[in-house]
Amino acid sequence: MRLQATVGIGVVAQRKLWRSPPAPEPHRSADKIMRITQVIGAGLMLMLVGLSSLYAAEIGDSTWDAYVARTLGAIIKQHESDAVQTDKYFTADNFPTRAKAFYLGKQRSLPKERAAFLDKYFLHFTKQSEFRKLFKSEILVREGEQEYWLSIQTDLLPSLQEEVKPGAEVELFITWLGAVRTSGKLEWIFTINEFQAVQAGE
Q: Which residue has the higher pLDDT, 76 or 49?
A: 76
Which residue from 194, 195, 189 is spatially nearest to 176, judged by alpha carbons?
Answer: 189
| Average pLDDT, rounded, for the chain | 76
- pLDDT above 90 for 190: yes
The secondary structure element, H or E, covering residue 83 is: helix 72-83
pLDDT in tens, 91-104: 989 999 999 999 99
- Domain locations in the chain? 5-197
The vertex-90 CA angle with 161 and 12, nearest 5°, equals 60
- pLDDT above 80 for 193: yes
Can you give the pLDDT at residue 201? 64
Lowest mean pLDDT among 48-57, 108-117, 175-184: 48-57
Do residues 149 and 74 touch, judged by C-beta distance below 8 A?
no
- pLDDT above 50 for 25: no
Can you give the pLDDT at residue 63? 67
The vertex-19 CA angle with 16 and 22, nearest 5°, equals 60
